Amino acid sequence: MEEDIDTRKINNSFLRDHSYATEADIISTVEFNHTGELLATGDKGGRVVIFQREQESKNQPHRRGEYNVYSTFQSHEPEFDYLKSLEIEEKINKIRWLPQQNAAYFLLSTNDKTVKLWKVSERDKRPEGYNLKDEDGRLRDPSMITMLRVPVLRPMDLMVEATPRRVFANAHTYHINSISVNSDYETYMSADDLRINLWNFEITNQSFNIVDIKPANMEELTEVITAAEFHPHHCNTFVYSSSKGTIRLCDMRASALCDRHSKFFDISQFYSISNNSSCLCAIDLTLPALTQAHTRTYTLNGNDAAIKESLMSQSTCVIMTGSYNNFFRMFDRNTKRDVTLEASRENSKPRAILKPRKVCVGGKRRKDEISVDSLDFSKKILHTAWHPSENIIAVAATNNLYIFQDKVN
């Protein structure tokens, strides 16, 4: 990469003491809302942590884009399926935001079996002067009530409440790997290894199966569903990917059961991701690292089996993908440039320069290069999210959540 990339700076960093991190603290999903003002993370302990972006201040312009903790709540608890003698983990597999319609926020979260709809709202006033209750909430003696009181609202410290509004359960035999909200905002779909179900937000006890690839004989099983996503604007169209490296485009207008796709894409012919020591990430595309600046690091813990996600920027010209050793790579389709960056606690000093990392495969190693033999393959970037309209990215690495943004002059 050219030297101009060295101008990106780290704005700020916030670290929790990682010595207290446990398996439950591992980040399992990251998701911006539709405006990018909120960022939600889910972990293996079933918790959802929501961060809110600070408003830009004329007195402190360098704080633009910083995210602070807004709300934390327990979304899922561990369960046990007695019919199958199977433990159901509380781990949050996916989070999806619904477009904001009023002052409250709504999001979907799912573990392996159950999808929940949550309402997140603010409260800065409390009612006082109940007729049947005293100020401590205890019921009053009816014989002591001699007059009718009109309750009034009193100011109070701002409190953010998360309340469950819907629970969608008992519809998946296999583990749910993805959920997607439809553009009609009335329905969403959930996908497991072999089936995709369509739900209505108002109906919790019934869903419609729209894809079923389970063979009559499970010994003939050759692929599983890995993800499913609705078209952002056309409510009748969706795609789902499989473990064979294929993507199927389906149209719900053609058939109620979309086992027959409208279009078929074999993406395995175009790119592959390798995990051997000489190739951190082999993708048949290249792109420039954005001028990102590190704003904050949250110790939430993260570790998993393999690199899972690749994302494209809102401009569709930049692709980001995770790698090993807490590296992540940015590729530019237009300029054909690429850069490797590192999300690490050691390099997360305020106002420090975030330098590209270079890996030496063989031969003589330069001073600014890292040998491939010294890479830590237990540290992996597994979950990432891209701001919907700005050059801001969130990267989950081991026990940290990093947020990078454009350099602030």
Residue-level length of the chain: 409
| Selection from 406, 326, 409, 403 nearest residue 12 by Cα | 403
235, with CB counted inside 10 A (0-12, 13-18, 19+), is: middle
* 247 vs 286, higher pLDDT: 247
Over 90: is that where the pLDDT of 41 sits? yes
351, with CB counted inside 10 A (0-12, 13-18, 19+), is: exposed
The phi-psi region of residue 71 (left if phi > 0; otherwise alpha if psi is between -120 and 50; otherwise beta) is beta
Q: What pLDDT was estimated at residue 44?
A: 94
Query: What band does 350 get if pLDDT is binned at 50, 70 and 90?
Result: low
Over 90: is that where the pLDDT of 84 sits? no
Provide the percentage of residues in the chain whose pLDDT is more than 90: 40
* 41 vs 304, higher pLDDT: 41
pLDDT digits (tens, 9 = 90+) for 209-256: 999 999 999 999 999 999 999 999 999 999 999 998 899 999 999 988
Amino acid at 325: N
pLDDT digits (tens, 9 = 90+) for 309-349: 666 666 668 888 888 888 888 888 888 888 888 888 776 66
Q: Report in angstroms the alpha-carbon separations of 30 from 38, 50, 97.
A: 11, 10, 11
Average pLDDT over residues 264-279: 46
Task: For residue 396, give the H/E element and its range.
Answer: strand 392-397
Query: Would you state the torsion angle of the CA atoms of residues 332, 335, 336, 339, taken in this order, to the nearest 10 degrees?
Result: -50
Query: Taking a C-beta distance cutoff of 8 angstroms, is the pair 36, 66 a contact?
Result: no
Count structural domains, the chain: 1
Over 60: is that where the pLDDT of 54 sits? yes
Over 70: is that where the pLDDT of 36 sits? yes
Q: What pLDDT was estimated at residue 57?
A: 66
Average pLDDT over residues 41-67: 81
Average pLDDT over residues 8-18: 39
Q: What is the DSSP letter of 9?
A: B
| Selection from 164, 201, 390 nearest residue 290 by Cα | 390
Rounded distance, CA 403 to CA 281, Å? 22
**What mean pLDDT is reported for the chain?**
79
* 67 vs 363, higher pLDDT: 67
* 375 vs 288, higher pLDDT: 375
Query: What band does 149 get if pLDDT is binned at 50, 70 and 90?
Result: confident
Rounded distance, CA 267 to CA 407, Å? 34
DSSP for 135-169? TTSPBPPGGG--S----EEEEEEEEEEEEEEEEE-
Query: What band does 267 get if pLDDT is binned at 50, 70 and 90?
Result: low
Average pLDDT over residues 99-110: 94
pLDDT digits (tens, 9 = 90+) for 362-401: 767 777 778 787 788 888 888 999 999 888 889 998 778 8
Average pLDDT over residues 118-145: 82
CATH number at residue 19: 2.130.10.10
Q: What pLDDT was estimated at residue 373?
A: 76
Q: What pLDDT was estimated at residue 55?
A: 79
Average pLDDT over residues 143-155: 81
Q: What pLDDT was estimated at residue 282?
A: 36
Bridge partners (DSSP) of residue 332 are 318
* 148 vs 286, higher pLDDT: 148
Q: Which domain range does residue 215 map to?
A: 3-406
Q: What pLDDT was estimated at residue 296?
A: 38
Q: What pLDDT was estimated at residue 107?
A: 97
